[in-house]
């Protein structure tokens, strides 16, 4: 074969580091973006927040030796608080940790003195509430309240302090408390816990098993009732036994409820009264009353101690009504979630003045990374805003009339309108939220497939789900609607929906079957 030269023109896309960072930032949620920004601020010295004060001195000036009035105040405060700490550490029965929260109890009055004010948490709530100098109460948002919300383990440890126990028993009880899951259950048996601590020592395993058996009895006597159970049946039985000790309940109903909790729980879930009645040795009427009693119990004792901060949703986009007609909406980004970053001017200027020095190239690369990061974050929010405005324009009827007016919408529709790829729209709508007059929704909520109608159009699956929910809410409890009947009712509305589709939507809405709805 004779060798030769040829010229060929082609196009290809190279994933540069800047493009990779842009794609990664686009799919991050608000919380993940905040963590990414904090990490970048720690690693890159050329990046800073705009809210922070810029350095007041230029390089070479020596004015840092003269303390400013604020520095004098901090110094005086530190010496005063150090005196309190030293006095406290020398007192009998007191230590430094007792005054670790003294910052909240010290009040600077502005005249050179400090006022010690009683703290509600330290004095059992009998002290008057703290007031600001101007008399206005401190406003706290939901996240502050979430931080103050105690955990289940802390609540149980405080109760354990009131028990007179030996050191081994107290240690065993504390170990079981720390082994509970978020719902208040012991997922591992005490045999497994003892074997895991003792290893191959059989004698120590027997001793630990005895300690854990006693500790589990003590744990199950604490509040909330049902904590420390190994499964749902035991949790329900503990709560029923507590009701039995309190009195006021029908003994026959309590006995039937205890017997029902010892049976397979799927019988209770299906409300199979006919099979439960002979197993519990009671009449069907008593079993129904027992099932009603069980339904009032708490299946998750640790529910009220759950960390509510992880459930707090901060919207990325805000949609508000404008004008008098109520059909116009403004779409804007939430300023609270937008990080305000900038390149440090002094460091960048110093780098420009020292070209050719050692390490200049590495520092120049860090400066370029900071500029790329700011640009990519700006591009991320611009893309979110463009997609949100396109969604609001397509789903305007939803914002006016609610979910029954939702239109079918797929990712390709928005991608074609904005000239973006479907994968980009998917990244933008994942874990991003929009606050609207109808509530706060994830951006993916506004996308849904369409069902055919008699007129040749399409009905959104979200609107069909809303119709199913309305039909079930208005049904006769004695004669609940079947999936076939719901499908016929949708057909009367001009929507072609098969029974299997109705069943899928009903299960997605967590609506029980006809039999369970009738029993409820």
Is there a domain that residue 62 lies in? no
Residue that is written with structure tokens 């209770």 in the block: 268
Tens digits of residue pLDDT in 232-270: 999 999 999 999 998 888 899 999 999 999 998 888 888
- How many helices (H) and strands (E) are present in the chain, helices listed first? 23, 10
Query: How big, in percent rounded to 5, are the helix, strand and coil portions of the chain?
Result: 55, 10, 35
pLDDT of amino acid 310: 57
Among 162, 314, 146, 299, residue whose Cα is nearest residue 233: 299
Rounded Cα distance, 381 and 217, in Å: 55
**Pair (353, 424) in one structural domain:** yes
pTM above 0.85, yes or no: no
**Pair (238, 187) in one structural domain:** no
pLDDT of amino acid 448: 86
Tens digits of residue pLDDT in 283-315: 989 998 999 899 899 999 998 887 655 557 889
Percent of the chain with pLDDT over 70: 78
**Pair (473, 387) in one structural domain:** no
Q: Are 458 and 450 within 8 A, CB to CB? A: yes
**Pair (283, 384) in one structural domain:** no
**Pair (438, 403) in one structural domain:** yes
User: CB neighbours of 472 closer than 8 A, spacing ≥ 6?
Assistant: 480, 481, 486, 506, 511, 517
Count of domains observed in the chain: 4
- As given in the structure block, the two tokens for residue 247 are 């009195």
pLDDT classification of 327: cutoffs 50, 70, 90: confident
Is there a domain that residue 496 lies in? yes
pLDDT classification of 92: cutoffs 50, 70, 90: very low
pLDDT of amino acid 358: 67
pLDDT of amino acid 133: 41
Which of 420, 446, 472 corresponds to the end of one domain?
446
Is there a domain that residue 260 lies in? yes
**Pair (403, 474) in one structural domain:** no
pLDDT of amino acid 134: 43
Rounded Cα distance, 23 and 25, in Å: 6
Can you give the residue range of the structural domain that contains 240? 232-301
Is there a domain that residue 110 lies in? no
Tens digits of residue pLDDT in 330-378: 999 999 898 989 888 777 777 777 666 666 788 888 888 989 999 999 9
Distances in whole angstroms, Cα of residue 64 to Cα of each of 60, 76, 78: 11, 18, 19
DSSP 487-511: HHHHHHTTB---HHHHHHHHHHTT-
pLDDT of amino acid 348: 76
**Pair (367, 351) in one structural domain:** yes
- As given in the structure block, the two tokens for residue 177 are 């408390």
- Which three-class secondary structure state does DSSP give residue 215? helix
Q: Are 21 and 36 within 8 A, CB to CB? A: no
- As given in the structure block, the two tokens for residue 369 are 């990374």
**Pair (165, 285) in one structural domain:** no
Percent of the chain with pLDDT over 90: 38
Rounded Cα distance, 368 and 380, in Å: 18
Q: Are 426 and 411 within 8 A, CB to CB? A: yes
| 67-76, 229-238, 323-332: range with lowest mean pLDDT | 67-76
pLDDT of amino acid 198: 83
Helix (H) or strand (E) holding 462: helix 461-473
Residue 104 has pLDDT above 60, yes or no: no
pLDDT of amino acid 272: 85
Beta bridge partners, 106, equal 116
Is there a domain that residue 36 lies in? no
- As given in the structure block, the two tokens for residue 404 are 């029954």
**Pair (358, 290) in one structural domain:** no
**Pair (204, 237) in one structural domain:** no
**Residue 121: exposure state from Cβ atoms within 10 A (0-12, 13-18, ≥19):** exposed
Tens digits of residue pLDDT in 110-131: 443 333 333 333 333 343 443 4
**Pair (324, 442) in one structural domain:** yes
Residue 73 has pLDDT above 60, yes or no: no
**Pair (269, 188) in one structural domain:** no
CATH number at residue 472: 1.10.10.60
Tens digits of residue pLDDT in 435-490: 999 999 999 999 988 887 777 778 888 889 999 999 999 998 888 999 999 999 99
């Amino acid at each position: 074969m004779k060798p030769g030269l040829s010229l060929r023109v082609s196009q290809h896309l190279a994933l540069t580091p800047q493009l990779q960072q842009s794609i990664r930032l686009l799919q991050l949620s608000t919380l993940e973006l905040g963590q990414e920004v904090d990490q970048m601020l720690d690693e890159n010295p050329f990046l800073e927040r705009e809210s922070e004060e810029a350095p007041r001195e230029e390089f070479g000036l020596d004015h840092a030796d003269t303390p400013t009035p604020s520095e004098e105040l901090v110094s005086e405060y530190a010496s005063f608080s150090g005196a309190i700490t030293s006095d406290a550490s020398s007192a009998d029965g007191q230590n430094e940790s007792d005054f670790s929260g003294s910052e909240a109890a010290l009040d600077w009055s502005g005249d050179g003195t400090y006022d010690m004010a009683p703290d509600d948490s330290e004095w059992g709530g009998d002290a008057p509430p703290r007031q600001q100098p101007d008399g206005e109460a401190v406003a706290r948002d939901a996240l502050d309240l979430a931080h103050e919300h105690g955990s289940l383990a802390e609540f149980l440890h405080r109760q354990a302090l009131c028990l007179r126990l030996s050191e081994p028993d107290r240690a065993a009880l504390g170990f079981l408390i720390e082994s509970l899951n978020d719902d208040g259950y012991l997922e591992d048996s005490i045999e497994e816990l003892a074997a895991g601590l003792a290893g191959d020592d059989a004698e120590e395993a027997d001793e630990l098993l005895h300690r854990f058996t006693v500790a589990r009895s003590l744990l199950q006597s604490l509040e909330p009732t049902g904590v420390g159970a190994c499964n749902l049946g035991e949790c329900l039985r503990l709560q029923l036994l507590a009701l039995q000790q309190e009195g006021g309940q029908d003994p026959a109903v309590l006995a039937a409820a205890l017997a029902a909790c010892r049976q397979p729980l799927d019988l209770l879930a299906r409300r199979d009264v006919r099979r439960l009645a002979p197993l519990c040795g009671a009449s069907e009427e008593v079993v129904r009353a027992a099932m009603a009693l069980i339904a009032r119990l708490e299946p998750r004792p640790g529910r009220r101690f759950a960390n509510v901060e992880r459930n707090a949703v901060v919207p990325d986009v805000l949609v508000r009504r404008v004008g008098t007609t109520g059909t116009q909406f403004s779409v804007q980004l939430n300023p609270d979630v937008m990080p305000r970053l900038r390149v440090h001017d002094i460091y960048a200027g110093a780098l420009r003045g020292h070209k050719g020095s050692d390490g200049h190239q590495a520092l120049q690369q860090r400066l370029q990374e900071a500029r790329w990061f700011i640009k990519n974050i700006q591009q991320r929010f611009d893309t979110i805003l463009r997609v949100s405005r396109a969604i609001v324009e397509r789903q305007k009827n939803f914002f006016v009339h609610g979910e029954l007016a939702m239109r079918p919408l797929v990712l390709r529709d928005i991608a074609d309108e904005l000239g973006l790829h479907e994968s980009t729209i998917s990244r933008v709508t994942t874990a991003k939220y929009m606050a609207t007059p109808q509530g706060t929704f994830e951006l993916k909520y506004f996308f849904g497939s369409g069902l055919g109608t008699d007129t040749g159009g399409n009905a959104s699956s979200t609107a069909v789900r809303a119709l199913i929910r309305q039909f079930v809410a208005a049904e006769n409890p004695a004669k609940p609607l079947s999936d076939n009947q719901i499908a016929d009712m949708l057909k009367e509305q001009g929507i072609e929906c098969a029974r299997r589709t109705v069943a899928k939507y009903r299960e997605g809405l967590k609506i029980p079957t006809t039999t369970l709805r009738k029993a409820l």
